[in-house]
Amino acid sequence: MRHNKATAPGRRYFTSGERDRAAVGVFTPKAAALFVATGIGLFYYFRYEKQKLLEQRQKELESRSVGRPHVGGPFTLTTHENKPFSDKDLLGKWNFVYFGFTNCPDICPAELDKIGSVLTSLEKDYGTIFQPVFISVDPARDSIPQMKTYLADFHPRIIGLTGDYETVKTTCKAYRVYFSTPPNADPKGDYLVDHSIYVYLMDPNGQFVEAFGQSSTPDEVVERVKKEISEFEKETGRKV
């Protein structure tokens, strides 16, 4: 014999069909319109936020470019292998450019050793995308054979560059390098050359990035170069 389920006074129980119709009934045309409007609002909001981020990124890139001094320019010199080398040969590589002279007693050897150490470390992660360049500020004594003999004691990929006095002077001016060698220096003279002591980092587009002084350690240079490569890759989609 079936017993009727007791029902609390004033409470009504809905059948499953009634519950389904009630649930569907909540999504009214007004609710649907509100849902669509909200979706459209979110779409435009996120598109606006994305545009703001892109504009902010562009401003950062412009700031990075504007904030950098204009260093570098056209030049044509000769390598220690007696081959022509111009500013166009800097393109497509990350370049370490250092100005010095082969009769330098201690500073130049130390800086060239630093460049070699930095290259050895970076090339483990990036390969040979770097080009080290040593430009003489003492063209009277730094002949091609002299440069070749001198560089044999340093990293094998360092490219030595030399030329006539006026060409070297113009190149130094483009890189904002000071040097004290007089135009009539004696090739057999025993003199020292006072000069700026910086290793210039130039990007694959030939643009100046940073100047590392004597106080910069190899580890500090490596970390900064890695950061710059990362930024360059974000901007261009490539490492070189």
Question: Is 172 part of any known ligand binding site?
Answer: no
Positive/negative CA dihedral, 103, 107, 110, 113:
negative
Contacts of 133 (CB under 8 A, 6+ apart): 90, 95, 96, 97, 98, 158, 159, 161
End-to-end CA distance of the chain: 88
User: Is 3 labelled a binding residue?
Assistant: no
Neighbour-count burial for 159-190, b at 16+ CB within 10 Å, e otherwise: bbbbbeeebbbebbeebebebebeeebeeeee
Query: In one letter, which amino acid is 151?
Result: L
Distance of alpha carbon 150 from alpha carbon 25, whole angstroms: 89
Backbone dihedral angles phi then psi of residue 43, each to the nearest 5 degrees: -60, -50
Binding residues for Cu cation: 104, 108, 195
Binding residues: 104, 108, 195
